[in-house]
Amino acid sequence: MATSSKQTANGKTRITIRIDDDILEWFRAEVTAAGGGNYQTLLNRALREYIQDRNQSLEEVVRRVIREELSSLRATPITFKSNTNAIR
């Protein structure tokens, strides 16, 4: 895959790459669904998150996932069906 690049003043480099159509369409659709923005910014965020996650240990990832799951459970109201069963 050949790439060309050109450094810009804002710490970014302009490159030419080939991305699968379905991947590009997904990023564009996400930006549209969010009400606008730039798919390239979203793509940068996804790549940065991927890099950061790769640098985390398995333990750190598991702890993060558990925290996120517990947080979502705390936000769910509990209703009681009977004196013995709590239902979320």
Q: pTM above 0.85?
A: no
Torsion of CA 62, 34, 31, 26, to 10 degrees: 60
- Residue 85 has what pLDDT? 60
3-state secondary structure of 32: helix
| Predicted confidence (pLDDT) per residue in 42-67, tens digit | 999 999 988 888 888 888 888 988 99
**Percent of the chain having pLDDT more than 90?**
40
Q: What is the largest CA-CA distance in the chain?
A: 68
Alpha-carbon distance of 17 to 77, in angstroms, equals: 47
